[in-house]
Amino acid sequence: LIFVVSQFIAIFRKSNIGLVIQTVLSVAVLAFSILYFYEKQTLIILQSLMALLMFVLAYNNHTTFKRNKFYTITYIVVGILIIGAIIF
C-alpha cells in the first residue's frame, strides 16, 4: 500500500495530474459497472463518471500524449452524447 501511494505521489509531482485523474475515474467506472449489475439505480452515477472520463481522456490525448486531434474531438463528442443521454 505504501508503494502504491508513493507511486501516485511521484506521478503527481511530475505534473501528470490528468493521468492520475484518468486512473481514478477508470477504477470508479469499473467499480460502478460491477455495482450496476446488482443495483440498477447507479446508472446516472455511472453515466456521469463515464462522461467525465471521456473529457479527461480528451484532455490527456491533447496535452499529455499530443496525438491526433480526431481522437480528442471524438472523446468530447462521446462525452456530450453521454450527458445528453443523462438529461433526456
DSSP string, 11-74: HHHTT-HHHHHHHHHHHHHHHHHHHHHH-GGGHHHHHHHHHHHHHHHHHHHHHTS---HHHHHH
Question: pLDDT per residue over 22-48, tens digit each?
Answer: 999 999 999 999 999 999 999 999 999
Question: pLDDT per residue over 52-65, tens digit each?
Answer: 999 999 998 988 77
